[in-house]
Each structure stands twice: as C-alpha cells, then as structure tokens.
Amino acid sequence: MASFRKFGRASALLPALAAALIAGAAQAAEPIKLGFSMALTGGVAVNGKQCLLALQIWRDDVNAKGGLLGRPVELVYYDDQSNPSNVPGIYTKLIDVDKVDLVVGPYATNMVAPAMPIIIQHNLVDVGIQALDVNSEFHYPRYFAVLPSGQNTRLAFAEGFFEIAKQQNPKPKTVAIVAADAEFSKNAADGAREAIKNSDFQTVYDKNYPPQTQDFAPIVRAIQALNPDMVFAAAYPPDSIGLIRAVNEVGFTPKMFGGAMIGLLATAPKASLGPIINGILIQETFMNAPSFNFPGLNALMTKYQAAAPTLGVDPLGYAYAPAAYSAAQILAAGVEGTKSLDPAKIAEYIHGHPISTVIGEISFGANGEWAKSRVVYTQFQHVAGGNDIAQFKDSSKEPILWPAAYKTGDLIYPYADAKK
C-alpha cells in the first residue's frame, strides 16, 4: 500500500513536470521573432499603447504554454510615432535587418496601408489591427484584418448611423459629412456616401479638413450655417475631441451627430469630455457587453487591467486590447495549424478555417476581411462629469442601438434631448 501511495504521488506530479519540461525546452530553442511597428507616441498612441500591452500579454501566455512550434516567441517592435511615413522603413528593418519570422499590425488604417507594399514585397502574412478597407487597393491574398467590417468594409462604419436615422419620426432629411484628409477617415466618409445613395437623404455639406487641424470652430460654424439634420464625422482621436468641443462651444444641435469618431473608443477621452458626449452616436468594433463575452476575454482583460495603471495606458482597454490579442491569435493559429512558418501555408490555413479568438470565432473572405460584419452603433447617454472612468466599465452609459441582434438600449432623439 505504501508503494502504491508513493506511485500515486509521482503520477500526480507527471503533468506538472511535463509542462515544465516543455516550457524549458521552448526557452532553450531559438525564438520565433514577431515584428511590428506601433503608435507609442503621437496622435493615436492612446490606442497603440493598448495594443502593445495586449501583444505582450499574448506573448507571455503563449510562452507559458511552451511557445509556438516548441519555440519561445520574442516581440521586436518600434515606435512609428503615429506617422505613416515612418512605417515602411520600420518594416524594412524588421524584415531585412532584424530577420523577424512573422509580422503583425501595425495598428490603424493610416499605418497599415504604408506597411503593405513592404510586406507584399517579402511575401509575408500580415494581420492588420483595426485597419479599414486597406486591402481593397492591394488585393493581397496573405493579408487579414482584425476589424469586424465584413465584406462591404467602407459601408460598415456608416451603415448603422443611417439605418438608425431611417427609423426616426420625424425622419431627418439632410446630412453633412466632415472627415479628416487621411486614409481611415476618407474610407469611412466613402461609406457614408454609399449609405446615402441607398436612401432619400440629401447631402448639404461634404468636405475634408487637414489632419493637423486644431481649431474646429470655423468648420462647425460653416456646417451650422447650412442647418443639416445630421452630421456624420469621420475622425481620429485628436480631431474627434476637437470637433466635439467645437460643437459644444458653438451650441450646434443637429437632430443627430456622430459617426466614425475613433477618439471616443478609448476611455480617457470619454471620461475627460464627460457630459458633452451625451447624445453622440459612434461605431464600435468591440464592447464590454454580455453578447461579446467570448472565451478567453475575461482572462485577458484581468491581466490587462491589472497592468494598465502602472504602465499609464487606458485603464479599461476594451476597444483595442482584444483586437490586438486576437491578431496574434490568428497568426498563431496558422503557424500551429500548419506546423510551419511558411507564409503560403499559413495564409491558406487562415483562409480555410474559422479561428477562435477572444473577440469570437472569425472566418475570412477572399480579401482578408471578415466574412460577416459585426460593427455596432452606440449612443452616449447620461454620462456624468468628474472624469469618472468607472462609468464606462460596461455598456450602461453607451447602449448598443444597432443592429437589433446586439441591441441593449434605445436612441434618445433628437440630439438636443440627450444633452439635457
């Protein structure tokens, strides 16, 4: 009996010992290098920093399980400073000098687009993070997008805004489109124009502004003079904030205001703006809502939110951390599914298999976009002041209005009523 108990204790130790040996073997092997650029300073750094932390958590999670192909993963990255002109040089260095095995990202449409020619030249697989319609110009079969815009990518970021408008009584009739003269914003504005073609709405204003614009009051006053029922804006973080402050200062209250305003996806801008965001409609690509609680998400966000305060990044992180983590999961699925680092095999695998990620199971169409759209439209309601971050931990202050499958609240209409 004593010998049996001794054998039983040894048996119980075997799984832990095996795991330790696997991890040890992975650490002894030559690392697999994953390279990317990331916006760690500049206009979209508030989002890029979230992505970096998520990728670091993914690396640690993978290495704790033995790495990829029995080899540890090492991240090699550089700050692109939110500047598209820096990106080609960074990816050239990553591939030709650092000799990375795989690439991912970067974050944002404006940065992914200039990375693509370099990645294509080297025939690598890329998983872009939150990049809108980038592959419509390249049609590169080894590109995949972590952005739930579906097959009609540009329309996805505007469709919900105008579908909600059609449901109102009295229905708004006229619309102004205002967008930054940059890749993402122009693509989203194109989506607004496409949505308007399929309606009886009339466009009374449609102009771009330089990306470095700081004073938005003249733009807002020019729109206000035309008295449109709706304003659809497509903007990155600094200009999202600038437009909102100008609308509030000028006292402009169209019946509906919002659009693809990326600056309102991060927590700090929402909290700092406080009540002046009430009534604004925005597209969201991921929400902390019951219908979005996919396997692995809670574990990721627990680690992210524990690390965020000491690193000075967005304390909640739901808009971007899950997307970046998922980008790495997709690439890893191709590597492990093929037991290879061969880009052709990895791309074929990702195209041919649904991939389970922390933002759900993803299947890709021919152009590397999601097979089905899952963009939602929300409205800020009853947001309080005092830079209160806690109020954004769930969707209670930002209910989902569209599509019906994810709906958690109703529109407050018109915009002026939501501001009361």
Please check whether residue 276 lies inside any domain of the structure.
Answer: yes
1 pLDDT above the threshold of 80: no
Please check whether residue 367 lies inside any domain of the structure.
Answer: no
Lowest average pLDDT, out of 70-74, 230-234, 265-269, goes to 265-269
Indicate the average pLDDT of the chain.
93
Please check whether residue 22 lies inside any domain of the structure.
Answer: no
Structure tokens of 75?
């991240």
Closest CA to 247 of 74, 409, 82, 418: 418
Same domain? 189 vs 319: no
Same domain? 139 vs 274: no
Same domain? 275 vs 162: yes
Closest CA to 273 of 250, 301, 243: 243
Closest CA to 337 of 349, 348, 355, 329: 349
Domain containing residue 191: CATH number? 3.40.50.2300
Same domain? 168 vs 228: yes
**Which residues lie closer than 8 Å to 170 by C-beta, 6 or more apart?**
none
pTM equals 0.87
Same domain? 91 vs 230: no
Rg (CA), the chain: 23
Please check whether residue 2 lies inside any domain of the structure.
Answer: no
- Per-residue confidence (pLDDT) for residue 198, from 0 to 100: 81
Same domain? 142 vs 162: no
Same domain? 143 vs 179: no
Same domain? 329 vs 401: no
pLDDT-above-70 percentage for the chain: 93
Q: pLDDT for 76-132, tens place per residue?
A: 999 999 999 999 999 999 999 999 999 999 999 999 999 999 999 999 999 999 999
HSE, side-chain direction, 13 A CA sphere, residue 407: 10
Asked if 174 contacts 145 with a C-beta cutoff of 8 angstroms, the reply is: no
Q: How many domains does the chain have?
A: 2
Residue 172 belongs to domain spanning:
153-284+381-418
Same domain? 157 vs 266: yes
Same domain? 407 vs 317: no
3-state secondary structure of 296: coil
DSSP per-residue letters across 145-176: EES-B-SSHHHHHHHHHHHHHHT-SSPP-EEE
- Per-residue confidence (pLDDT) for residue 52, from 0 to 100: 98
Q: pLDDT for 177-198, tens place per residue?
A: 999 999 999 999 999 999 999 8
Q: pLDDT for 276-289, tens place per residue?
A: 999 999 999 999 99
Same domain? 315 vs 270: no
Count CB-CB contacts under 10 A for residue 109: 26
How far CA 221 is from CA of 225, 271, 279, in Å, comes to: 6, 26, 19
Same domain? 100 vs 178: no
Asked if 216 contacts 246 with a C-beta cutoff of 8 angstroms, the reply is: yes
